[in-house]
Amino acid sequence: MKQMISFLLAVLLVLALATCIRAQGSDQQAMKSASQFDSSSLTFYGRLQTLGFAQNLKDGYRDNTRLYLYLKQARLGAKATYEDIDFDVQLALGGEEIVKAPSPGADLSLLDLSADIPVTKSLRIKAGQFKVPYGRENISDEAFLQFTDPSVQYLGFKLGRDVGIALHGNSGTFTSTIGVFTGGGRDVPIRYIPQDLGFPMIVARVGMNDGLDENLFNVKQNLSASSSGIALFVNALYTKDSKVGHSTALNVKLDDKSLLLNSNWNPYIGKQPLVKSELWQIGADAAARISGKERGLSAEAELNYSSFKNSYGSLSLFGGRAQAAYFTNPFEIAMRYALLRPDENFGVTNSQGTVFQIVDSKLIQEITAAVSFYLHGNRVKLTGELPVGINIPVAMEPNLGAYALTQQPDQTTVIASGRVERQTVIEARMQLQVMF
């Protein structure tokens, strides 16, 4: 943490110094036109999210009802524009999952650091670490969700952030993004080690954007302070794993892992001797919004299919969601239905190499109702919601208690000595978000 604080202070000092130098200017800069001067800007932003959480399920060892209170997010970032090049940096500083890189084991919390560079009037190149442009839910800004969390289908298809480069642009309403990424996820340390290359992660998102999405890599769900329009996209992704050192790129991904890339669900991805694997996903999403200062309506829908395969076996996932919301200042009311069809070959392997089945192919479903109350525009938001999970896999750890695997997917490790039940899980959540 001390290193992170030192790094952050150094960044702020450099930015402040650069701003000061620019404000003073030289005689040559003073001769620049006003339009050139105005093309540069620097904005800091941040947010906190506190989450109160109640959950009810059947637990044979502990109380059926649990209560939690967390500092869910504490984010700090900055956006800058200089001569039409856009920069974005964002750090995670709160109670989120720690990304701990192996050897030497540094804790890393950089989320975004990217530059968006104009190539032509309608084409730009985005390079650095940022969200992989696949699927509307994957690229939704966490500050502008209509619910406290993404839907249950997100477990099967999330990609999060990665290091790469993407060409994006538009011609009228036609919009497209094509990117190349490492496939190894975010915050990967520099290591010059032996490799047996496969194929990088290629991602395409193509469709129509008629005024809805201002930022193709960070879309908004909330009706408050959002623009009206419609959008329709198809998405595709393909990668073939690379052997890197003693493991593979997909096997050692540190964070933002879908169930297909989680070794606690996928019994084939880390099986020895390691082999190259293939991962591909296809999907489509649509959204529409009619937004005014006092009232608005919105709707979203998304479908995805994903497949993992290597010489040991194959797995697949199908999922989707649909949601709608109504805004009447200062309230927003939203409903969501989501589903995920798991593969019956999902399994967890114990230290002796025995594989234990986690689930059958019965649908995991979620129905969620949410109400948000806004203060100071959209700077302060209080969200209350009631998710009901149907056929949720719940892992039972002997003499300890139960874990809803939709919240804690890595707890499949207790199955070797316990069991999994499908249950109806009822929850109540309250989240306070403050932004600047």
pLDDT tens for residues 187-226?
A: 887 888 888 999 999 999 999 999 899 899 999 998 876 7
Has residue 193 been placed in a domain?
Answer: yes
Q: Would you say 150 and 320 are in contact if contact means Cβ atoms under 8 Å apart?
A: no
Has residue 302 been placed in a domain?
Answer: yes
Has residue 107 been placed in a domain?
Answer: no
Q: Which of 127, 223, 196 is nearest to 168 (CA)?
A: 127
Q: Provide the pLDDT for residue 97.
A: 74
Q: Provide the pLDDT for residue 287.
A: 97
Q: What is the DSSP letter of 173?
A: T
Domain limits at 192? 113-391
Point out which residues pair with 237 in neighbouring strands: 203, 281
Which sign does the torsion angle of CA 177, 181, 185, 190 carry? negative
Has residue 195 been placed in a domain?
Answer: yes
CA distances to 1, 2, 82 from 14, rounded to whole Å, are 20, 18, 15
DSSP secondary structure string, 154-208? HHHH---EEEEEEEEEEETTEEEEEEEE-SS-SSPPP----EE--EEEEEEEEEE
C-alpha count within 13 angstroms, C-beta hemisphere, residue 320: 12
If one counts the domains in the chain, the total is: 1
C-alpha count within 13 angstroms, C-beta hemisphere, residue 102: 8
Phi first, then psi: what are they for 273, rounded to 5°? -70, 145
- Which CATH number fits the domain that encloses residue 238? 2.40.160
Which structure tokens are listed for 40? Answer: 């540069």
Q: Provide the pLDDT for residue 29.
A: 40
End-to-end CA distance of the chain: 23
Q: Would you say 54 and 65 are in contact if contact means Cβ atoms under 8 Å apart?
A: yes
Q: Would you say 112 and 88 are in contact if contact means Cβ atoms under 8 Å apart?
A: yes
Q: Residue 163 corresponds to which amino acid?
A: V
Has residue 300 been placed in a domain?
Answer: yes
Radius of gyration of the chain (CA): 23
Q: How far is CA 45 from the centre of its chain?
A: 19
SS3 assignment, position 379: coil
Q: Provide the pLDDT for residue 191.
A: 80
Q: What is the DSSP letter of 279?
A: E
Kindly report whether the peptide bond that precedes residue 342 is cis, defined as omega within 30 degrees of 0. no
Has residue 316 been placed in a domain?
Answer: yes
Tens digits of pLDDT across the chain (436 residues): 344 444 333 433 333 433 333 433 433 343 333 334 456 899 999 999 999 999 999 999 999 999 999 999 999 999 999 989 999 999 998 877 777 776 666 677 899 999 999 999 999 999 999 999 999 999 999 999 999 999 999 999 999 999 999 999 999 999 999 999 999 898 887 888 888 999 999 999 999 999 899 899 999 998 876 789 999 999 999 999 999 888 888 988 888 899 999 999 999 999 999 999 999 999 999 999 998 778 999 999 999 999 999 999 999 999 999 999 999 999 999 999 999 999 999 999 988 889 999 999 999 999 999 999 999 888 999 999 999 999 999 999 999 999 999 999 999 999 988 899 999 999 999 999 999 9
Has residue 35 been placed in a domain?
Answer: no
- Number of CB atoms found within 10 A of residue 108's CB: 17
Determine what percent of the chain falls in helix, strand and coil, rounding each to the nearest 5: 10, 55, 35
Q: Provide the pLDDT for residue 31.
A: 36
Report the alpha-carbon distance of residue 57 to residue 55 in Å, rounded: 7
Has residue 2 been placed in a domain?
Answer: no
